[in-house]
Amino acid sequence: MDNNKGWREQLRIIIFQTDTVAGRRFDKTLLLIILSSLVVVIIDSIESIHRDYAGLLAYLEWGFTLVFAIEYGLRLYCSPKPLRYAFSFYGLVDLLAIVPGALSLYYSDAQYLLIIRIIRMLRIFRVLKLGHYLKQANYLLAALRGSKQKIIVFLATVSTLVIVFGTLMYVIEGPKNGFTSIPIGIYWAIVTLTTVGFGDIVPKTPLGQMLSSLVMITGYSIIAVPTGIFTAELANAMRGEQLEHKCPVCAKNDHQPSAAFCARCGNALFPKDENKA
């Protein structure tokens, strides 16, 4: 019994932690298996490969599903609070990595849901030196959070532009030039405003081409807006340690990093003598 508990504890350390050699090896192996399973799904979709190796690939996929099922079982078994794990983000993702394999017995398209296993690749950041990446990702997230409201204003503007331009193009060009409905017009406006420009639908009337030119220049110019927002916020987040301490005399804040004296009134920002006295 005691022995059993020790074995469970040891298994938990291997499976859930990354600071032991065995734990890192386990995570690396797991990543490799996830990657292989993704590759199998992807190459199975290629006609010529499916024709020749459908059987082999199906066996492999079943094998992977089995491995993941066993792993899921072990995680439940050795977790101190199995229910909490089962309903955590990672727990649900681990479950979702198994279910489609079972479903694909009944619905043949379900196997493509296996691509959801890609989310499990997030564990890769646990294997790499986590701290560094976490800090960088935090900078990016801080910048995104800081620019959320500006981004909403921006997206609302873009949506409005796209609907108006799409409708106008539908009225101007009409179904005979490929703009068969307003939704198609909106799709075209998105293709054009984002400077993707597939070319499957193109304006053919002079008026339509003039309006298109306007849409393109708009798209080319407003690409500056999200970039500007994000850059300004990121610079802010990285300059973060920019001194927030208020000058005790003139209350100025936003000093240069590691400033010792207020750049405005020349008084010490952190009076030393008082401190020492």
Residues in 194-253 that interact with a second copy by CB under 8 A:
194-200, 202, 206, 209-210, 212-213, 216-217, 219-221, 223-236, 238-239, 241, 245, 249-252
Q: Closest approach of Cβ 97 to a second copy, in Å?
A: 14
- CB-wise, 20 or 159, nearer to a second copy? 159
Dihedral over alpha carbons 94, 32, 45, 90 (to 10 degrees): 20
- Binds a second copy by CB under 8 A, chosen from 150, 177, 205, 246: 150
Contacts of 148 (CB under 8 A, 6+ apart): none
Residues 48-107 that bind a second copy (CB under 8 A): none
- CB-wise, 14 or 100, nearer to a second copy? 100
Q: Vertex 81, ends 80 and 86: CA angle to 5°?
A: 125
Count of residues engaged in binding a second copy, rule: CB under 8 A: 107
Contact predicate 31/124, CB 8 Å: yes
Q: Which stretch binds a second copy (CB under 8 A): 55-63, 70-78, 92-100, 189-197?
A: 189-197
- Binds a second copy by CB under 8 A, chosen from 121, 130, 205, 207: 121
> What CA–CA distance (Å, rounded) separates 85 from 124?
19
- CB-wise, 2 or 89, nearer to a second copy? 89
- CB-wise, 18 or 218, nearer to a second copy? 218
Residue 132 binds a second copy (CB under 8 A): yes
Q: Which two tokens stand for residue 62?
A: 């079943």
Residue 130 binds a second copy (CB under 8 A): no
- CB-wise, 4 or 275, nearer to a second copy? 275
Q: Closest approach of Cβ 12 to a second copy, in Å?
A: 28
**How many C-beta atoms surround the C-beta of residue 21 within 10 A?**
8
- Binds a second copy by CB under 8 A, chosen from 88, 133, 145, 207: 133
Q: Vertex 8, ends 32 and 91: CA angle to 5°?
A: 50
Residue 170 binds a second copy (CB under 8 A): yes
Contact predicate 242/254, CB 8 Å: yes
- Report the run of H or E that residue 71 belongs to, with start and end: helix 47-78
Residue 254 binds a second copy (CB under 8 A): yes
> What CA–CA distance (Å, rounded) separates 191 from 173?
16
Residue 20 binds a second copy (CB under 8 A): no
Contact predicate 262/250, CB 8 Å: yes
